[in-house]
Structure 1
Amino acid sequence: MSFQIKKNASVYDICIVGSGAGGGMAAKVLSEAGYKIALMEAGPHFDPANAEQQTQLKWSYESPRRGAGSTRAFGDFDMAYGGWEIDGEPYTRKDGTKFDWFRSRMLGGRTNHWGRISLRFGPLDFKRKDFDGKGENWPIGYDDIKPWYDKVDKFIGVFGTKEGLPNEPDGYFLPPPKPRLHEMYLKKYGEQMGLPVIPSRLSILTKRIDNRRGACFFCNQCSRSCTIYGDFSSSSVLVKPALEYDNVDLFVNAMVREVLTDENGKATGVSFINKTDMEEYQVKAKVVILAASACGSARILLNSRSEKYPNGLGNSSGLIGHYLHDSTGADRAALIPSLMDRKRYNEDGVGGMHLYVPWWMKDASKHGFTRGYHIEFWGGMGMPSYGTGFGMENLNGLVPGKDGNMKKAGGYGAGLKDDVRRFYGAVVGMSGRGESIPQKDNYCELDPNVVDQYGIPVLRFHYKWTDEERMQAKHMHDTFEELLTNMGGILLGDRPGADRDYGLHNPGRIIHEVGTTRMGDDPKSSVVNRYNQLHDVDNVFVMDGGPFVSQADKNPTWTILALAWRASEYLDQEIKKMNV
Structure 2
Amino acid sequence: MNPFQIKEAPVVYDVAIVGSGAGGGMAAYMLAKAGAKVVLLEAGGYFDPADPKYITQLKWPYESPRRGANTTRPFGDFDAAWGGWQIDGEPYSAKTGTEFHWFRSRMLGGRTNHWGRISLRFGPDDFRRGSLTGVGDDWPITYEDVAPYYDRVDKLVGVFGSKEGIRNEPDGHFLPPPKPRLHELMIQKAAKGIGIPVIPSRLAILTKAINNERGQCFYCNQCGRGCQAYADFSASSVLCIPAIKTGNVTLINGAMCREVTTDPKTGLATGVSFVHTGTMQEHTVRAKTVMLGASACESARILLNSKSALHPNGLANSSGVVGKYLNDSTGASRGAFVPALMDRDRYNEDGVGGMHVFTPWWLDNKKLDFPRGYHIEYGGGMGMPGFGFGFGTENMNGKYPTANGTMKPAGGYGSGLKEDVRRFYGAYVHMAGRGEPVPLESNYCEIDPDKVDKYGIPTLRFNYKWSDYEVKQAKHMQDTFEEIFHAMGAIPMGNKPGPETNHGYGLEAPGKIIHEVGTVRMGKDPNKSALNAYQQAHDCKNLFVVDAAPFVSQGDKNVTLTILANSMRTSEFVIDQVKKKNI
Q: Which bracket does the TM-score occupy, shorter chain normalised? A: over 0.9
Tell me which residue corresponds to 1:275.
277
Tell me which residue corresponds to 1:463.
464
| Matched positions, count | 576
Tell me which residue corresponds to 2:240.
239
Q: Secondary structure at the match of 1:454?
A: coil
Give the Cα separation in 1 of the matches to 2:211 and 2:549. 32
Q: Please list every run of 5 or more consecutive structure 1 residues that lacks an aligned counterpart in the other structure.
A: none
Give the Cα separation in 1 of the matches to 2:70 and 2:349. 28
Mark the CA change 1:194 to 1:326 in structure 2 (over 3 Å): closer, same or farther: same
Tell me which residue corresponds to 2:480.
479
Give the Cα separation in 1 of the matches to 2:185 and 2:173. 25
* Matched-pair contact (CA < 8 Å) for 2:118–2:202: yes
Tell me which residue corresponds to 1:102.
103
**1:398 counterpart letter in structure 2:** K
Give the Cα separation in 2 of the matches to 1:296 and 1:376. 28
**Which residues of 2 match residues 109-188 of structure 1 at below 5 A?**
109-188=110-189
Tell me which residue corresponds to 1:194.
195
1:511 aligns with 2:500: no
Tell me which residue corresponds to 1:312.
314
Deviation at 1:131, TM superposition (A): 2.0
Give the Cα separation in 1 of the matches to 2:390 and 2:326. 33
Deviation at 1:409, TM superposition (A): 2.7
Q: Secondary structure at the match of 1:333?
A: strand
Q: Secondary structure at the match of 2:172?
A: coil
* Matched-pair contact (CA < 8 Å) for 1:389–1:424: no
* Matched-pair contact (CA < 8 Å) for 2:68–2:386: no
* Matched-pair contact (CA < 8 Å) for 1:214–1:230: yes
Q: Secondary structure at the match of 2:449?
A: strand
Mark the CA change 1:63 to 1:385 in structure 2 (over 3 Å): closer, same or farther: closer
Give the Cα separation in 2 of the matches to 1:566 and 1:277. 36
Q: Secondary structure at the match of 1:12?
A: strand
* Matched-pair contact (CA < 8 Å) for 1:518–1:526: yes
Mark the CA change 1:41 to 1:330 in structure 2 (over 3 Å): closer, same or farther: same
Give the Cα separation in 2 of the matches to 1:96 and 1:379. 36
1:265-304 per-position Cα deviation (integer Å, ceiling 9, x unaligned): 1111011111111111110111100000000100000011
Mark the CA change 1:306 to 1:232 in structure 2 (over 3 Å): closer, same or farther: same
Deviation at 1:413, TM superposition (A): 3.1
Deviation at 1:519, TM superposition (A): 0.7
Mark the CA change 1:375 to 1:396 in structure 2 (over 3 Å): closer, same or farther: farther
Tell me which residue corresponds to 2:27.
26
Give the Cα separation in 2 of the matches to 1:94 and 1:79. 31
1:505-551 per-position Cα deviation (integer Å, ceiling 9, x unaligned): 00101100000001101011111100000110011100000000011
Tell me which residue corresponds to 1:562.
565
* Matched-pair contact (CA < 8 Å) for 2:393–2:399: no
TM-score, length-scaled by structure 1? 0.97
Mark the CA change 1:329 to 1:395 in structure 2 (over 3 Å): closer, same or farther: farther
Mark the CA change 1:309 to 1:70 in structure 2 (over 3 Å): closer, same or farther: same
Mark the CA change 1:144 to 1:496 in structure 2 (over 3 Å): closer, same or farther: same
**1:515 counterpart letter in structure 2:** G
Mark the CA change 1:547 to 1:24 in structure 2 (over 3 Å): closer, same or farther: same
1:548 aligns with 2:533: no
Deviation at 1:68, TM superposition (A): 8.2
Give the Cα separation in 1 of the matches to 2:130 and 2:409. 51
Deviation at 1:61, TM superposition (A): 2.4
* Matched-pair contact (CA < 8 Å) for 1:334–1:490: yes
Tell me which residue corresponds to 1:252.
253
Tell me which residue corresponds to 2:230.
229
Mark the CA change 1:446 to 1:259 in structure 2 (over 3 Å): closer, same or farther: same
* Matched-pair contact (CA < 8 Å) for 1:389–1:427: no
Q: Secondary structure at the match of 2:563?
A: helix
Tell me which residue corresponds to 1:300.
302
1:326-376 per-position Cα deviation (integer Å, ceiling 9, x unaligned): 000000111000000010000111000000000001x23443102100000
Deviation at 1:310, TM superposition (A): 1.7
**RMSD of aligned Cα (Å):** 1.5
Tell me which residue corresponds to 2:267.
265
Give the Cα separation in 2 of the matches to 1:10 and 1:465. 47
Tell me which residue corresponds to 1:421.
422
Give the Cα separation in 1 of the matches to 2:88 and 2:95. 20
Give the Cα separation in 2 of the matches to 1:252 and 1:174. 34
Q: Secondary structure at the match of 1:7?
A: strand
Give the Cα separation in 1 of the matches to 2:69 and 2:411. 26
Give the Cα separation in 2 of the matches to 1:531 and 1:260. 21
Deviation at 1:411, TM superposition (A): 3.1
Tell me which residue corresponds to 1:524.
527
Give the Cα separation in 2 of the matches to 1:223 and 1:107. 15
Mark the CA change 1:412 to 1:68 in structure 2 (over 3 Å): closer, same or farther: closer
Give the Cα separation in 1 of the matches to 2:349 and 2:448. 49
Give the Cα separation in 2 of the matches to 1:302 and 1:68. 40
* Matched-pair contact (CA < 8 Å) for 1:136–1:549: yes
1:533 aligns with 2:536: yes
Q: Please list every run of 5 or more consecutive structure 2 residues that lacks an aligned counterpart in the other structure.
A: none
Q: Secondary structure at the match of 2:154?
A: helix
* Matched-pair contact (CA < 8 Å) for 1:395–1:493: no
**1:516 counterpart letter in structure 2:** T
* Matched-pair contact (CA < 8 Å) for 2:6–2:281: no
Deviation at 1:97, TM superposition (A): 1.6
Give the Cα separation in 2 of the matches to 1:465 and 1:224. 32
Give the Cα separation in 2 of the matches to 1:57 and 1:130. 49
- Percent identity, aligned pairs only, is 64
TM-score, length-scaled by structure 2? 0.97
* Matched-pair contact (CA < 8 Å) for 2:360–2:375: yes
Deviation at 1:215, TM superposition (A): 0.4
Give the Cα separation in 1 of the matches to 2:512 and 2:301. 19
**2:508 counterpart letter in structure 1:** H
1:429-451 per-position Cα deviation (integer Å, ceiling 9, x unaligned): 11000000100000000111111
Deviation at 1:407, TM superposition (A): 3.4
Give the Cα separation in 2 of the matches to 1:537 and 1:261. 9
**2:134 counterpart letter in structure 1:** G
Tell me which residue corresponds to 2:339.
337
Tell me which residue corresponds to 2:359.
357
1:287 aligns with 2:296: no
Deviation at 1:390, TM superposition (A): 4.7
1:372 aligns with 2:373: yes
Mark the CA change 1:390 to 1:262 in structure 2 (over 3 Å): closer, same or farther: farther
